[in-house]
Structure 1
Amino acid sequence: MAKEQPDHLTGTEARAGTTPHMARVALFGGLGLVIIIFAIIVLAAG
């Protein structure tokens, strides 16, 4: 009986798809919000 799957899979084959770039959006969005909030706090205190 022949093997149907190869012994070694690439990362994409093991995940059975691609990864969306939602983590990148969340990280940059959060960083932007922190910068805006920090600027508001600094301007309000000064």
Structure 2
Amino acid sequence: MIPKDPSRVVESATDVRQAERGPSVLALLMASTGLAILILGVIWFVWFR
């Protein structure tokens, strides 16, 4: 049982691990994927043309 402390928020380890990553992770994933596609496209046009 988690002790109740009125002066601070007390959460279990399971609750703490469920933090939301937020939109910054999605933006980073999209930017890195787009950059990888762009680089591969440039390499393909330079190498095969």
Match of 1:44 in 2: 46
> Which stretches in structure 2 are left out of the alignment for 5+ residues?
none
**Larger relative CO (CA 8 A, sep 6+): 1 or 2?**
2
What CA RMSD, in Å, does the superposition of the two structures yield over aligned residues?
Answer: 3.0
- For residue 20 of structure 1, report the CA deviation from its aligned partner: 3.2
Aligned pair count reads 41
The 3 A distance-change label for structure 1 pair 19 and 45 is closer
Q: Moved runs in structure 1, 4+ residues, more than 3 A?
A: none
Aligned-pair CA distance for 1:19? 4.9
- Provide Cα deviations, 1:1-46, integer angstroms capped at 9, x if missing partner: xx567x88xx6xx6xxx75310000000000000000000000001
Query: Share of identical aligned residues, percent?
Result: 19
Tell me the TM-score normalised to structure 2 length: 0.55
The equivalences for 1:4-43 within 5 A come to 19-43=21-45
